[in-house]
Amino acid sequence: MADGTRKLKVGFADQLRDIEVALPAGEPQPWDATTKLDVVGKPHPRIEAAAKVTGAARYTHDQRPAGLVHAAVLRCPHPCAVLDALDLEPARGAPGVLAVLAVAKPGDRLLFAGQDVAALAATTPQQAHAALARIAVRYSPQPFVVDTTAAMQPDAPLVHRAQVRERSTEGDEPGTPTGSSQRGNLRMSPSQKKGDVDKGLRQAKVTHEATYSTQAHTHSALETHSIVLRWDSPTSLTAWCSTQGIFSVRDELAEVFGLKPQDVHVITDYMGGGFGAKFGASAPGSRLGFIAGELARQARAPVALLLDRREEHLCTGNRPDSIQQVTLGAAADGSLTAIKVLAHGSGGIGTGAGVGRNAFAIYTKCPNIRVESHDVFTHAGPATAFRAPGHPQGAFAIELALDELAVKLGKDPLELRLAHNEHPVRRHQFELGRKQFDWDNKRKRVADERQRNTRLRHGVGVAASIWGDFGRGKAVVASLSVGRDGSIELRNGLQDIGGGITTVVAQVVAEVLRRPLADIRVRIGTSELGPSVGSGGSNTTSSVTPAVRAAAEAVLQQLRELAGKQLAARRPEDVLWDSKGARVGGKSIAFVDLCKHIAGEAIVATGTRPDTYGAYPSRFMGGNSVAIAGVQFAEVELDTWTGLVRATHVLALHDCGRVMNPLTCRSQITGGIILGTSYALSEQRVMDKRHGVMLNPNLDSYKIAGARDVPAIDVVFTEVHTGANNTGAIGIGEPATIPTAAAIACAVFSAIGTPVRSLPLTPDRVLAALGAIPTAAPARG
């Protein structure tokens, strides 16, 4: 195929149109709205499902290379302390101990409770943990601050004495503004702005101003951070790692130990969740890769470093909290004249407390917008990217503020949103959702119950998401082989973090080669299998499937040529290819028979994905990626006697480009909604301000939604043909969690008529909003 311009039919629902895109040489004709597919887009169960549910799937925690020994890490119990003395010798002599390692050195300032101090390896995990107690360590505790508001005071203990450099991973949203200044514990970041917000507020006839706050939220993946590391020679190693980015692990280990990247072999066969916290060989607040590698070298044995739940909460990242002052202005007719957000949030000792794009880039008909978000340092474990960094907290504040304004304006909150949103897909989703959710009638019932002051109430809310398609060009090289025996094998150094990409790439190969899905073997999960992307920014499917398709098309081309020869076709175009094999006129040859004619062992071809070449219908933040729209409607039940909120129903309408597999796509959206519900109603890291430690580093009092907390979920795919890449896949993992908490908070507001402006929406806060709590000063404490 020559370099050139192609016509594509793109769009959604009944809004289809023709566009032209310039394609690089060799790029297959992109699948668009006119393409009929047989395997892609069909609900195929995960091909690894049986292995997972039977326990045959081996995760990093399950790896037992011969001679494996076990590591444990001594962590600082103080929120801030100078390490005065560290003596590892007593531990060296403890039963079973094979290696000891100082991670901090005397004189170091340790900045959060949970920071690495020392580590050791022993024959059994029990021996390793017991030996930690033998390490002689002395600290001088220093003044500290763990509360975000307190840390903003001028006299607060200073967390960082030097300028902090931003640490970013593949989990961070690309294009997030950088460049900042630091004063005290405050680190100011550039704002997102357009128009003149102050003027907009002066022009306003109706204004609303309030402060919204959200909690710190830990990733709490089911599989904790883990690495099993074995030296294969003095200059090469194998690492099994629970990671979202195999190559980020390889590169970090190569750098830390001064190795060639190709001598670092990383394996992630199965992975138990990451949500943004698992890039690189280390956790954001613990040098796992370094520790495992050093201990393994000393012990002359493979080392397993598997964090426990408490460590997972303390040092592996979190979603920062936020305090957002929102000011809205509107003209008398209800049109917005200004959106202003001033946000502060703490990612502990780390950065990344921005509040995303929601206030800036969804209600774009508002001419004047300014969103500032600043980091506040506290003595707590560092934040890191967490499923749509910044967005759920930003969505909560702006969406609830809009509902409060809508009440002042006497407007339906949905109308207010429609009047200010310009994204055609999102408008379509709002309209579709209004009908399917029965918004108008449900709102009537809500108003009626509120007016009659019933004990049990219903509430409804709606909120939107924005995200970009961050599919990466030139990053993935997929290779596909078809053997003389007819076997088909796709290879790529990709990890399946649970989203289901293994099945989706098999579908793409099956589609192109017209072979049964069960005949496609997918080999992924190790760095040996060729370059791939980390799974961050919801980019996996849109980065990988186009490269896989390109490889498959290249193999098909060669198979057609081979068939042409066998069947004596005059031109390659005369070869017809279908699920049986090849046909030319009346002659045919079955696929397996054709394969027998392959010269040598196999046909092997590679495929890559060019940069994104289209962005229909709208670009994300002016760049060259598709702006992804989503809308969720939530219904809650609320008991005014107990303050208890239950999310009973969420209707989610999402744009995810071409739906490659409705089962895995739905599962991503369902997971996003469950995460969002949990964030809305119960999850919360609780820190003791006087001791500077986390009080709930477990899954007992850190409350993650369970089966009975999950709402009924209806998913509607508003499939969009974007012309972005040759399969049309774009991301969904992150957009799906953005609006859930906001919609639930709006629903609670509608139920009781008073906003609850802090997450999570627990009974204490709801009862306070209901005015049910006696105002007399507390008797104690």
Partner 1 sequence: MQPFALIRPTTLLAARDRVHEHPRARLFRAGGVDLLDRMKEGLDAPAELIDLRTIADEKSLRGINPDPAGGCQLGALVTLAELAAAAELDAVLREAAGSAATPGIRNLATLGGNLLQRPRCWYYRNVDLVCLKKGGDACLAVTGENKYHAILGGGPSFIVHPSTLAAALLALDASVDIAGDTPRNIPLADLFVGPKQDPTREHSLGPGELLLRVVLPPAPPGRRSAYAVAKEKQSHDWPLVEAAVSLSLATGVMTQVRVVLGHVAPTPWRSREAEAVLENQAPSADLFRKAAAAALAPARPLRHNAYKLPLAQGLLREALHRAADLPLPE
Binding site for partner 1 (CB under 8 A): 77, 126, 130, 452, 454-456, 639-644, 646, 681-682, 686, 688-691, 693, 695-696, 700-701, 703, 705-709, 762-764, 767-768, 770, 772-774, 778-781
Task: Say if CB 123 and CB 96 are below 8 A apart.
Answer: yes
Q: How far is the CB of 260 from partner 1 (least distance, A)?
A: 42
Q: Is the Cβ of residue 281 or residue 307 nearer to partner 1 in the bound state?
A: 307
Report, in Å, the least distance between residue 386 CB and partner 1.
20
**How many CA atoms, within 13 angstroms, populate the side-chain half-sphere of residue 731?**
30
Residue 753: CA count within 13 A, CB half-sphere: 12
State the Cα angle at 570 between 568 and 574, rounded to 5°.
95
Q: Which is nearer to partner 1, 75 or 491 (CB)?
A: 75
Whose Cβ is closer to partner 1: residue 85's or residue 772's?
772
Please report how close the Cβ of residue 770 comes to partner 1 at its closest, in angstroms. 8
Instruction: Name the minimum Å distance from CB 457 to partner 1.
Output: 10
760: preceding bond cis by omega (within 30 degrees): yes
Give the separation between CA 726 and CA 777, rounded to whole angstroms: 65
Reference 376, options 342, 350, 340; nearest CA is 350
- Closer residue to partner 1 in complex, CB, 538/684: 684
Residue 303, strand partner residues: 69, 229
C-beta closer to partner 1: residue 665 or 674: 674
Q: Which is nearer to partner 1, 55 or 234 (CB)?
A: 55
Residue 139: both structure tokens together: 């600290």
Contacts of 768 (CB under 8 A, 6+ apart): none
Q: How far is the CB of 73 from partner 1 (least distance, A)?
A: 15
Q: Between 365 and 455, whose beta carbon lies closer to partner 1?
A: 455
Shortest distance in whole angstroms from residue 135 CB to partner 1? 15
Is residue 493 within 8 Å of 529, Cβ to Cβ? yes
Name every residue whose Cβ is closer than 8 Å to that of residue 80 and which is 6 or more positions away in sequence.
109, 110, 111, 112, 141, 142, 143, 144, 157, 159, 379, 692
Could you tell me the smallest distance in angstroms from the CB atom of residue 118 to partner 1? 17
Nearer CB in complex with partner 1: 325/648: 648
CA atoms within 13 A on the CB side of 704: 14
Closer Cβ to partner 1, 576 or 704, answer by number: 704
**Kind and range of the H or E run holding 477:** strand 477-483
| Residue 106: CB minimum distance to partner 1, A | 22
The minimum distance between CB 127 and partner 1, in angstroms, equals: 10
Q: What does residue 337 show for φ and ψ, rounded to 5 degrees?
A: -110, -20
- DSSP H helices, 639-761, are 662-681, 740-752
Strands (DSSP E) contained in 389-468 are 456-468
